[in-house]
């Protein structure tokens, strides 16, 4: 069990490191959101999974934390990306058809 937990924690740390590099290297805010949300969620799941294997008494709490990260990370990144769009950028990403669909909903 110790080897599995160490492998998961190392993989989680590597994924988090890649996410950090991606945040620093990508040029715009909208492209930086992707590694900040998706990759860090995967890294935290792997790391917490490794901790759960190392400390089975914490598994319940870590499972709740993983579920919270699964829901809050991508949702908050989506909200930030939607807020960050300016009017000029909206014209590039949204067409009149999508605006009509949004108005009907």
**pLDDT at residue number 12:** 95
The C-alpha atoms of residue 60 and residue 15 are separated, in whole angstroms, by 23
pLDDT given at position 99: 57
Structure tokens given for 84: 């960050």
From the centroid of its chain, how far is CA 38? Answer: 3
Q: Which residue stretches of the chain have pLDDT < 70? A: 86-105
Contact between 34 and 69 under an 8 Å Cβ cutoff? The reply is no
Count of structural domains, the chain:
1
Q: Is the dihedral of CA 47, 49, 55, 59 positive or negative?
A: positive
Let me know: does 77 contact 37? Beta carbons within 8 Å: yes
pLDDT of residue 1: 83
The domain in which residue 42 lies consists of 2-104
């Amino acid at each position: 069990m110790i080897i599995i937990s160490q492998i998961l924690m190392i993989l989680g740390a590597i994924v988090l490191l890649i996410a950090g590099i991606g945040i620093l290297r990508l040029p715009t805010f909208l492209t930086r959101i992707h590694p900040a949300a998706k990759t860090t969620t995967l890294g935290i799941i792997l790391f917490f999974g490794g901790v759960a294997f190392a400390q089975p008494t914490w598994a319940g709490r870590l499972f709740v934390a993983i579920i919270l990260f699964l829901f809050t990370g991508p949702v908050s990144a989506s909200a930030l990306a939607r807020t960050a769009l300016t009017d000029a950028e909206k014209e590039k990403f949204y067409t009149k058809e999508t605006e009509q669909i949004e108005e009907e909903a």
